[in-house]
């Protein structure tokens, strides 16, 4: 299958080709790719694309996968409507 | 390694300075950054660009920068999408005091050619229909304000600078500077030693620490400002909505997600950039008050970043009297991204000894020596 038909990040529709193109341009860590492609910034927080991208970076740099840091994990773990948070914090006070 | 100019910090200010210097013909410019691409304040910022300010200095800097943003894609020959949009900033007045201040602000802005206007509540509701009509009394609006993707804007400068011969290294931190009399001669990093003619401090949140290495005590400090982003949805809001009194800025970016932030008045002066549940609580309450429809969206991520605060909340773009080859662009107090085109232009003119586009004394570090400087800029979140 062509690299531009293989979806790596389902949240942002990023293909394997997009990843490989940026690796070629010298963006070889997850944080760079995240900022330029939004991989890991979607609703799943990189749970789908994280290890796939880690593997591509490892392959490109000819390193083992353990040597490639994953992206920074940020709160929240899953999406929560803002109004649920504001309502809940009203109950506490 | 021998260089003509070493720039510390590859955020938006550093890449803009590098690009402008290279464009003016300076050779052998190197930029070092202690982290990855846009790891500092630039990559964490709110991504808004506005020209509605209370101080003349900020109005001029942002207006001229906006003129650059309008032609940036072409001038920098950037193939990607800068995600530039000009759908305005809507600034809400919550009380009479703010309304009166905004009348003055708009008068100043108009006198400098900024097309802002003071509008009624009804007019504001036409621009953003889902605003809570009971949360404000009037507003100001400038239709040429807007948004840019900070990663893409930085990359555009970065690639253009590289094409002009500028070199970059990431994950390389400056640890020491060697001075001989009034000049810095060497800069040592975690990976290298540079013999350099000129040193530029564009270190963002770490500008004070870099200053101290050069023996210059710059009165700036870092503080954490938090921010969050929602899931992307169909377009529902054109302009950035801001309230200084309610402490919120909130904009839907072209990608579809909403970005919003607020300040914590009691935030400590340090390099912490962690996320807090307190921010999430306060932010969700504020947005529920002002933009109830937006508060139905799911927040998917929150983060923090450093504002580099100066005593008068306005930038320092200057050389120094003590160290003749040390320059700085810092103290942006949360607005370095939106004035970066002017930062690069002004500092490069200063370094090359050219006539500067603006009078530079008011941007100089020495303005704080008088002690009686005034804080005119209150239009800040």
**Domain termination site, one of B265, B286, B309:** B309
Inside any domain, residue B118 = yes
User: Which of A29, A42, A82 faces B299 most closely, judged by CB atoms?
Assistant: A82
Query: What CATH number does the domain containing B321 carry?
Result: 3.50.50.60
CB contact (8 A) between residue B295 and residue A83: yes
Q: Among B186, B170, B188, which residue's Cα sits nearest to residue B178?
A: B186
Residues B201, B254, single domain; the answer is no
**Domain termination site, one of B258, B284, B309:** B309
* Domains contained in chain B, number: 2
Task: Tokens for B24, please give them.
Answer: 């003016």
Q: What is the pLDDT of residue A92?
A: 66
Query: What are the phi and psi torsion angles at B16 (to 5°)?
Result: -70, -40
Q: What is the pLDDT of residue B381?
A: 84
Q: Is the peptide bond before A76 cis (omega within 30 degrees of 0)?
A: yes
Cβ-Cβ contacts under 8 Å, B298 against chain A: 43, 79-82
In three-state secondary structure terms, B318 is strand
Give residue ranges of B with CB < 8 Å to any A CB. Answer: 36-39, 43, 151-152, 155, 229-231, 255, 275, 280-281, 283-285, 287-288, 292, 294-303
CB contact (8 A) between residue A35 and residue B302: no
**Domain termination site, one of B291, B309, B327:** B309
Residues B299, B231, single domain; the answer is yes
CB contact (8 A) between residue A85 and residue B284: yes
Query: What CATH number does the domain containing B250 carry?
Result: 3.30.9.10
CB contact (8 A) between residue A43 and residue B231: yes
Inside any domain, residue B290 = yes
Residue B51 CB coordination number (10 Å): 25
Nearest-angstrom CA–CA distance, A27 and A23: 5
Cβ-Cβ contacts under 8 Å, B299 against chain A: 76, 79-82, 85
Residues B190, B206, single domain; the answer is yes
Residues B116, B233, single domain; the answer is yes
As for the ipTM of the complex, it is 0.93
The residue count for chain B: 381
Residues B226, B351, single domain; the answer is no
Q: What is the pLDDT of residue A50?
A: 94
- Torsion angle, alpha carbons of B149, B152, B157, B160, to 10: -150
Task: Tokens for B148, please give them.
Answer: 């840019």
Inside any domain, residue B193 = yes
Cβ-Cβ contacts under 8 Å, B281 against chain A: 85-86, 89
Name residue A15's beta-bridge partners: A7
CB contact (8 A) between residue B297 and residue A80: no
Are β-strands B193-201 and B326-330 bridged in parallel, bridged antiparallel, or unpaired?
parallel
Residues B121, B239, single domain; the answer is yes
Contact present, B251 and B360 (Cβ < 8 Å) = no
Q: H or E segment at B118?
A: strand B116-120
Give residue ranges of A with CB < 8 Å to any B CB. Answer: 27, 29, 31-32, 35-36, 38, 41-43, 45, 74-76, 79-83, 85-86, 89-90
Whose tokens are 């302009």? That residue is: B239
> Best interface-test mutation with B: which of A37, A82, A85, A89 has the largest number of B CBs within 10 A?
A82
Mean pLDDT by 10 residues, chain B (381 residues): 98 98 98 96 97 96 98 98 98 97 98 98 98 98 98 98 98 98 97 98 98 97 98 97 97 97 96 96 97 97 97 95 97 97 98 97 91 78 84
Helical spans, DSSP H, in chain B: 12-23, 56-75, 96-111, 121-127, 150-163, 207-213, 277-290, 336-352
In three-state secondary structure terms, B80 is coil
Residues B131, B168, single domain; the answer is no
Residue B296's domain comprises 84-145+222-309
Q: What is the pLDDT of residue B104?
A: 97
pLDDT cut 70: percent of chain A above it: 97
Residues B226, B303, single domain; the answer is yes
Inside any domain, residue B62 = no
CB contact (8 A) between residue B298 and residue A41: no
Inside any domain, residue B268 = yes
Contact present, B177 and B199 (Cβ < 8 Å) = yes
Q: What is the pLDDT of residues A45-77, one digit of tens each?
A: 899 999 999 999 999 999 999 999 998 889 998
Residues B250, B293, single domain; the answer is yes
Q: What is the pLDDT of residue B371?
A: 67
CB contact (8 A) between residue A74 and residue B287: no
Residues B296, B255, single domain; the answer is yes
What residue segments make up the domains of chain A, in order of their start? 3-92
């Amino acid at each position: 299958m062509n690299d531009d038909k293989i979806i790596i990040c389902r949240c942002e529709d990023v293909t394997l080709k997009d990843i490989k193109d940026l690796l070629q341009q010298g963006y070889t860590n997850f944080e760079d790719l995240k900022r330029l492609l939004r991989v890991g910034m979607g609703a799943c927080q990189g749970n789908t694309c994280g290890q796939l991208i880690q593997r591509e970076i490892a392959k490109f740099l000819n390193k083992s996968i353990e040597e490639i840091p994953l992206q920074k994990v940020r709160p929240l773990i899953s999406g929560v409507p803002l109004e649920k948070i504001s309502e809940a914090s009203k109950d506490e006070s | 390694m021998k260089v003509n100019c070493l720039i510390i910090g590859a955020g938006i200010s550093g890449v803009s300075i590098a690009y402008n210097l290279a464009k003016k013909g300076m050779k052998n410019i190197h930029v070092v950054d202690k982290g990855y691409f846009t790891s500092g304040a630039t990559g964490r910022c709110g991504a808004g660009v506005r020209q509605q300010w209370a101080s003349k200095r900020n109005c001029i800097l942002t207006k001229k920068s906006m003129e650059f943003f309008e032609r940036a894609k072409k001038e920098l020959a950037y193939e990607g999408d800068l995600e530039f949009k000009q759908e305005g900033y809507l600034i809400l007045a919550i009380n009479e005091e703010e309304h009166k201040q905004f009348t003055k602000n708009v008068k100043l802005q108009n006198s400098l050619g900024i097309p802002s206007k003071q509008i009624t509540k009804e007019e504001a509701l036409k621009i953003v229909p889902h605003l809570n009509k009971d949360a404000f009394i009037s507003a100001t609006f400038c239709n040429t304000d807007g948004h840019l993707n900070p990663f893409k804007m930085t990359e555009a400068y970065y690639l253009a600078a590289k094409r002009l011969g500028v070199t970059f290294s990431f994950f390389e931190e400056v640890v020491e500077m060697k001075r001989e009399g009034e000049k810095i001669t060497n800069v040592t990093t975690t990976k290298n030693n540079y013999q350099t003619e000129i040193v530029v401090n564009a270190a963002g949140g770490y500008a004070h620490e870099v200053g101290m290495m050069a023996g210059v005590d710059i009165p700036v400090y870092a503080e954490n400002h938090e921010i969050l982003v929602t899931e992307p949805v169909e377009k529902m809001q054109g302009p950035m909505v801001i309230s200084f009194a309610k402490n919120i800025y909130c904009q839907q970016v072209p990608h579809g997600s909403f970005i919003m932030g607020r300040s914590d008045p009691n935030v400590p002066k340090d390099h912490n950039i962690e996320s807090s549940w307190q921010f999430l609580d306060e932010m969700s309450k504020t947005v529920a008050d002002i933009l109830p429809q937006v508060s139905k969206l799911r927040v998917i991520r929150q983060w923090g970043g450093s504002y580099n605060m100066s005593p008068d909340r306005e930038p320092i773009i200057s050389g120094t009297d003590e160290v003749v080859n040390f320059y700085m662009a810092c103290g942006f107090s949360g607005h370095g991204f939106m004035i970066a085109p002017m930062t690069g232009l002004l500092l490069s003119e200063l370094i090359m000894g050219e006539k500067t586009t603006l009078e530079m004394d008011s941007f100089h570090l020495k303005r704080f020596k008088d002690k009686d400087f005034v804080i005119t800029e209150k239009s800040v979140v």
